[in-house]
Amino acid sequence: MKKEEFVKDVGNWDNHRLLLWPALEATKKLLLPVLELGCGEGSTPFLKKYCHDEGLELFSYDYNEKWAALYGATHTDWSMFGAICAVKYGVCLIDESPGEHRKESLQKVNAEIIVIHDSEPKGWNSSDYQVRPLFKNFKYVRDLESVVRGGAWATMLSNTINVNKI
């Protein structure tokens, strides 16, 4: 998959793709699987194509049974989260529901680079997922602020790869 196709027509709701691309490119030679927590039109088709083209495994999970079925993801109530976190990933996208679970994901997922959506200082719907205080646990942090006032941010985090240079 080419970059132009991966980031084409990115909007506020799927701006995390702008960070996913460099994260995937920076880790693809490690041949580690990719993890998607929360599937949807803004990420799953792109991750599936990228992983297929690069020979990487993609593990995709969603809390919503209908969304999981629609995108070919594994439906989970997050009770199996410990097993999901036992694997080392190259990239993990955190964009799951309920949004409050993202805090747990950020603390437990083992990935070279984590991309998290809806990471703005105050959540888009006036609720705060309380993930930003956890960013201090990462050596490298790169924010992508929304171009829409009050819109969603995305953030790339890592302890091993300087995400500000990719």
What CATH number does residue 118 fall under? Answer: 3.40.50.150
Range of 62's domain?
Answer: 3-165
Rounded CA-CA distance 16/59 in Å is 18
Rounded CA-CA distance 140/159 in Å is 6
Residue pLDDT, tens place only, 117-133: 999 887 545 457 889 89
Rounded CA-CA distance 22/50 in Å is 12
Number of domains within the chain: 1
Residue pLDDT, tens place only, 85-107: 999 999 999 999 988 899 999 99
Rounded CA-CA distance 155/142 in Å is 6
Q: Are 34 and 59 in contact (CB under 8 A)?
A: yes
pTM of the model: 0.94
Buried b (16+ CB within 10 A) or exposed e, 48-82: bebbeeeebebbbbbbbeebbeebebeebebeebe
Show pLDDT as tens, one digit a residue, over the chain (166 residues).
Answer: 899 999 999 988 899 999 999 999 999 999 999 999 999 999 999 999 999 999 999 999 999 999 999 999 999 999 889 999 999 999 999 999 988 899 999 999 999 999 999 998 875 454 578 898 999 999 999 999 887 776 789 999 999 999 999 9
